[in-house]
Amino acid sequence: MPEGDSVYLVARTLAARLAGTTVRRSDLRVPRHATADLSGRAVLGTASRGKHLLTRFSGGLTLHTHLRMDGSWTVLAPGKVLPRRVQPDVRVLLATTGGPGVADGEPGPTAVALSMPVVELVETAAEGDVVGHLGPDLLGEDWADGGAEEAVRRLSARPERAVKVALLDQRNLAGVGNMWADETCFLRGLDPWTPVGEVDLPPLVALVARMLRHSVEVPGAYQVTTGDTRRGRSHWVVGRAGKPCLRCGTTVRVRAEVAGDPEQRRTWWCPRCQPEPAVRAVPGRRARG
């Protein structure tokens, strides 16, 4: 599943390529909106909210999309067409006129959503119906205005939850995916199953927010947590099961799924750098792995 920084960068690309264009032809290939016609509407821009994308049009209409595991957006330059092999995967097509570097009235870029599992039109004034449940957005403009404090408050509400499960819950803070959750736990020296009530939450939240911001703002730093961009060394633990920890040399472990996670995402961790708290490592308890 894409991380919040991935979706943020998609939104930035869509905004840069489409804002200021006018839709000349639209095709929403989902049953609910198969007859919708966005022709003649100006594209006002695209924003991300956690892992959700909101493309806004004149007339108070918003296209809400969510990539989940397989969805993607691509923007074709004027005159370019999709390869025939991916045509069956098209869920949204927005052909435009005008835009940056394009003369008025001339064909502009075409935005295409492929294998998109969530496609819906909502009134812009009602965007809260689809994203209002989300916690503070780590990459949102309002993060600095109390977002971190609100995230800590929400995380603290259920102190018995495992810290990784809590980080993945978009109702607590929006934008953390599996990779960032595992890497954050490593960097804070936390066993991923540590109860939230045992975690110093403010520095945890500050760290993950700082890392996501760094990922989208610094060239070459996208989803690099170690500072080393070489193949196989950009992450501390994610994707390194069976390999030595880059910090201590202990074999990195992986567990098949996160308890209660419908996506059944894996968890990577270093048992030495992220020891299970002694208070919970009771005799006879089966070791994780």
Dump pLDDT digits (tens) for 153-163: 999 999 999 99
CA distance linking residue 56 with residue 121, whole number of Å: 10
| Cα 130 versus chain centre, distance | 16
Catalytic, 2? Answer: yes
pLDDT band at 283 (very low <50, low <70, confident <90, very high): very low
CA distance linking residue 6 with residue 242, whole number of Å: 27
Catalytic, 266? Answer: no
Catalytic, 164? Answer: no
Active-site option among 2, 107, 136, 192: 2
Please calculate the CA angle 71-95-5 and round it to the nearest 5 degrees: 35
pLDDT digits (tens, 9 = 90+) for 179-215: 999 999 999 999 999 999 999 999 999 999 999 999 9
Please calculate the CA angle 53-267-68 and round it to the nearest 5 degrees: 20
Active-site option among 17, 51, 240, 253: 51
Domains and CATH numbers, the chain: 4-132 (3.20.190.10), 141-269 (1.10.8.50)
CA distance linking residue 239 with residue 252, whole number of Å: 9
Strands 90-97 and 107-114: antiparallel
Please give the average per-residue pLDDT across 164-174, as a whole number.
96
Predicted TM-score (pTM) of the model is 0.90
Contact 109, 100 (CB under 8 A): no
Active-site option among 3, 17, 136, 154: 3
Contact 159, 203 (CB under 8 A): no
Between 287 and 153, residue with greater pLDDT: 153
Contact 42, 104 (CB under 8 A): no
Give the C-alpha distances (Å, rounded to integers) separating 1 from 24, 39, 61, 117.
32, 31, 27, 12
